[in-house]
Amino acid sequence: MECVKVSYDPKKIDITALLSVFFAVINPYTDGIQGKCRGPQYRSRIYYSQAEDLPQIAYYVTFVQSRGGERPVSDSCMIVNDVERKEARRPPVQTRVARLESFSEAPEEEQDYLRKHPDAYTPIDIPMLEKLGVLEPLDVLEP
């Protein structure tokens, strides 16, 4: 399994801000599919190491599940109160949450992969993250 370890200072950034970025770049409604990539290594998971993070993570996953489906749109308006329609609901969130048991660094050739391979495919919208200020533009990062 492949994952990214994120270390953060909760005095500088809230875990919900990190989760909002995570859920902006992955599809939480598929199991083993991210963009054109398919396979068990593309299942979305959140691993936590601090027990105090679990309630916030669980709350946020519930929030993602309950924000509702994409709403139908007519020529004159968006229909927002059509909760009885089954197709108006999102599929269940497939992102799983578990305590981190162990973590091993990837080999050096896999570190900073997108910087080293700027033409590699990624389902992550890198320009969006750069625009949001979440990620430094790859072209200004030192190799």
pTM equals 0.72
What does the alpha-carbon distance between residue 43 and residue 26 come to, in Å, rounded to a whole number? 10
Please name which of 139, 120, 121 lies closest in space to residue 130, comparing C-alpha atoms: 139
Kindly state the helix (H) or strand (E) to which residue 34 belongs, with its residue range. strand 33-34
Top-confidence residue, 138 or 13: 13
Tell me what the pLDDT averaged over the chain comes to.
79
Top-confidence residue, 65 or 127: 65
Q: What is the arithmetic mean of pLDDT over 31-47?
A: 88
Task: Identify the pLDDT of residue 133.
Answer: 75
Kindly state the helix (H) or strand (E) to which residue 19 belongs, with its residue range. helix 15-25
Provide long-range contacts, Cβ within 8 A and 24+ apart, for 62-70: 64/23, 64/28, 64/93, 64/95, 65/90, 65/92, 65/93
- pLDDT at position 126 over 70: yes
Q: What is the arithmetic mean of pLDDT over 107-111?
A: 88
Helix (H, G, I), strand (E, B) or coil at 38: strand
Structural domain boundaries in the chain: 15-106
Work out the number of other CB atoms within 10 angstroms of the CB of residue 43.
16
- pLDDT tens readout for residues 3-37: 888 888 889 888 998 998 888 888 888 888 888 88
